[in-house]
Amino acid sequence: MRHLSTDVLIVGAGGAGMYAAIAAAREGRTVLLLDKGLVGRGGATIMAQMTVAAAIGQQEPDDWTLHLEDTLEAGRGICNEPLSRMLCERAPERILEMDRWGTRWAREDGHIRQVTAPGHRRRRCCYVDFLSTGPAVAATLRHQVATTDRVRRVSNVAVIDVCVADGRVRGAVALDLSTGSLVTIAARAVILAAGGLTKIFRRNSASTNMGGEAYWLALDAGAELVDMEFVQFFPIAHLAPRLVGMDPIMWDPFRYKLGGRLLNGQFEEFIHRYGGEDEGRYTAPRDLASYAILKEVEAGRGSPHGGVYLDFRHLPEATLRGAFGPVIDRLLANGIDLTRMPVEVAPTAHYHMGGIVVDERLETRIAGLFAAGEAVGGPGGANRLSGNAISEAMVLGECAGRMAAGAADADPGWLSLYADRTRGELADLRGRKGRGRAPGVAQVELQGVMWEHAGPFRTGDGLERALARIRELRRELPDLAIADGDVFNLDVQDWFELRAMLGSAEAVAISAIQRTESRGAHQRLDAPQMVPGLEKNQVVSLAGGTLTSRWSAVVRSGVRTP
């Protein structure tokens, strides 16, 4: 079996993983940066079309403490405050470092231009025109990673087990998709930076990476998860007409730059009926907007494809072009002329607030096992602010890389028997012939179950049904069929991915069942009020094959950012 060794192993090469690689390498460590897709091409950062929040104060006076107040307020009282503080305090350094590295932040009058986004009291959100923020950030980090000594990057290698012995991480076992063979990796420290779980929902804005693998790897290694019931549903994702080559959440910047009327299927404004103010501007919070849209659809006042209309017909073409230039042509190529027609939009699973429990050094309770980016739980509490996701990727990525480097002094030792379990699992998959359905088909069913019962609106009964079905699907894992062939066998990849998706889905369901209130992104139709006594977190752990969730006090501030 192929064997590699490194000081710091990073699982996932999106925004957080790449930043972690740079930070660990500049502390003098060797880094192995793995991605199951292509390094720097997968994950969520590259898909982001919007803004990055950082209190650099170039547009107007600002301070990270104000950014922190906004972040904590949006998080509805249950943010992990030291992590929220880290995000807000360090975001300016990261934005300015990216600027030195050549990211072309939009500028005006010689300074980085900053705009507002919902929930921010200052104009503090930086961006790259036109809707190119994520690709520009990813390109900058790819270049930095490629020109940093001591970083080895490997594509098409999926980590499927993090190996722990005597409470300390030892390395990992991974599947080399190109050959179908296993690779073992001895590592002094491991950083999980493989993103969130939005792919477990039928409607999602995820890349194919976001199947909750980081969460499953953490649970299985003995680490814990927190806030798993808090999935952010983005209210106005593109629904129709069919649009290719654009991220479905693209309409947000259109709304806050230009306004845009949200209308039901009868072309009536409706947000005000649900206690929001809209007035063609971008002011209704994400949870309220999602609620209002789905209620209109439920009442039979939806648009033809089951959403609502977003209408820019009141704006002249020159205004649209001034704000979005080449994007207007990409829309026209899709047959969408905003001056003549509204588009249909609907909520979609967009981001996961929950994630791996880490301390203020981003280390889990397993020594040497760290997490970064969306994989981490806590900085956003019950509801993440718009603009905080890439800040989180950069800040937590940098910190995790630096801290993991500091934890990589001693060689904990690697034994080949650490790979025995995975070797057995792979041998079992290879031996299967046409028994059941393909794992990818079961994934589609899971996505439907989660959307139906654990999506934007939840009830206790529905969540119990989801949990029962998730557990049945888990029992089906040994019977799923795997096609022949070792080389680039996507069934094998889908099987390991499905196992992670089911673990993550179960963590969401059990946490959502126990939280009998509505708070932030977690909306229970059978418990519509926020309950003051539930201003606490739930922590999920795995023991003896069973997931359990327990209540835990919120981690308040008082800790300095390392």
Partner 1 sequence: MTTTLSVWRGGAGEGRFERYDVPFEEGMSVLDALRWIRAHVDSSLAIRYSCINANACHTCMALVDGRVEYTCTARLAPAGVTVGPLPKRPVIRDLVTDTMPAEEKLAPQT
Binding residues vs partner 1 (CB under 8 A): 2, 37-39, 41-43, 46-47, 134-135, 146, 152-157, 176, 178, 183, 206-209, 241-248, 334-335, 438-441, 444, 483-485, 487-491, 494
What are the beta bridge partners of residue 125?
53, 115
Shortest Cβ distance from residue 26 to partner 1 (Å)? 19
Question: 33: part of which helix (H) or strand (E)?
Answer: strand 31-34
Shortest Cβ distance from residue 190 to partner 1 (Å)? 18
Query: Helices marked H in 274-387 — which ranges?
Result: 286-298, 317-333
Distance of alpha carbon 126 from alpha carbon 53, whole angstroms: 6
For residue 532, count other CB atoms closer than 10 A to its CB.
8
Q: Which residue among 85, 142, 286, 458 is the active-site one?
A: 286
Would you say 468 or 487 has its CB closer to partner 1? 487
State the angle between helix axes of 490-514 and 420-430 in degrees (0 to 180), rounded to the nearest 10. 120
At 348, the amino acid letter reads T
Would you say 131 or 226 has its CB closer to partner 1? 131
| Cα 326 off chain centre by | 28
Would you say 183 or 408 has its CB closer to partner 1? 183
Would you say 98 or 271 has its CB closer to partner 1? 98
Would you say 87 or 480 has its CB closer to partner 1? 480
Residue 392 to residues 123, 374, 383, 462, 509: CA-CA distances in angstroms? 18, 7, 14, 32, 25
Shortest Cβ distance from residue 4 to partner 1 (Å)? 8
Half-sphere exposure of 263 (CA within 13 A, CB side): 16
Would you say 153 or 384 has its CB closer to partner 1? 153
What 8-state DSSP symbol labels residue 551?
E
3-state secondary structure (DSSP) of residue 253: helix
Would you say 319 or 334 has its CB closer to partner 1? 334
What 8-state DSSP symbol labels residue 514?
H
- The closest alpha carbon to 415, from 217, 167, 164, belongs to 164
Residue 427 tokens read as 């041998």
Would you say 27 or 445 has its CB closer to partner 1? 445
Question: 424: part of which helix (H) or strand (E)?
Answer: helix 420-430
SS3 labels along 133-172: HHHHHHHHHHHHHHCCCCEEEECCEEEEEEEEECCEEEEE
Question: 184: part of which helix (H) or strand (E)?
Answer: strand 181-192
Distance of alpha carbon 443 from alpha carbon 497, whole angstroms: 9
- The closest alpha carbon to 250, from 162, 299, 312, 302, belongs to 312
For residue 491, count other CB atoms closer than 10 A to its CB.
17
Residue 314 to residues 254, 320, 342: CA-CA distances in angstroms? 13, 10, 10
Would you say 152 or 550 has its CB closer to partner 1? 152
Backbone angles phi and psi of 265, in degrees to 5: -60, -20
Shortest Cβ distance from residue 451 to partner 1 (Å)? 16
What are the beta bridge partners of residue 311?
261
Residue 437 tokens read as 């359905």
301 a catalytic residue: no
Beta carbons of 252 and 386 less than 8 angstroms apart:
yes
Would you say 68 or 210 has its CB closer to partner 1? 210
Beta carbons of 527 and 518 less than 8 angstroms apart:
yes
For residue 262, count other CB atoms closer than 10 A to its CB.
26
Nearest-10 Cα torsion for 183, 185, 191, 196: 10
Shortest Cβ distance from residue 103 to partner 1 (Å)? 16
| Cα 382 off chain centre by | 14
Active site residues: 286
